[in-house]
């Protein structure tokens, strides 16, 4: 399983949404209901599942599903 799929699985688990329903333009807060405690859980789960470290600065830039994926796969 690649990093993108793992990340989508984590977002789905934390948000309670189906992986198939996740689209890059969906906002983590407005569309997926990820509040502050869930956002922290999302970051911790992403770091653990993907064996990466996400800085506070990078985390602050993640507003959509697409932002999360772009962080993992920079152009």
pTM of the model: 0.92
> Is there a catalytic annotation at residue 35?
yes
Instruction: Quote the tokens at residue 12.
Output: 């789905």
Phi, then psi, of 18 in degrees rounded to 5: -75, 140
- Mapped onto helix, strand or coil, the DSSP state of residue 33 is coil
Identify the active-site residue in 35, 45, 51, 67. 35
pLDDT tens, position by position, 52-71: 999 999 999 999 999 999 99
Residue ranges and CATH numbers for the domains of the chain are 3-11+24-72 (1.10.1200.10)
Report how far residue 3's alpha carbon sits from residue 20's, in angstroms, rounded to the nearest whole number: 16
How confident is the model at residue 73, as a pLDDT? 79
pLDDT tens, position by position, 5-46: 999 999 999 999 999 999 999 999 999 999 999 999 999 999
How confident is the model at residue 75, as a pLDDT? 65
Greatest pairwise CA separation for the chain in angstroms: 30
């Amino acid at each position: 399983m690649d990093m993108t799929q793992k990340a989508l699985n984590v977002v789905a688990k934390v948000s309670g949404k189906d992986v198939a329903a996740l689209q890059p333009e969906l906002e983590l807060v407005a569309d997926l209901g990820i509040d502050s405690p869930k956002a922290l859980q999302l970051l911790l789960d992403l770091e653990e599942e993907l064996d990466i470290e996400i800085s506070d600065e990078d985390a602050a830039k993640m507003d959509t599903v697409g932002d999360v994926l772009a962080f993992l796969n920079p152009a």
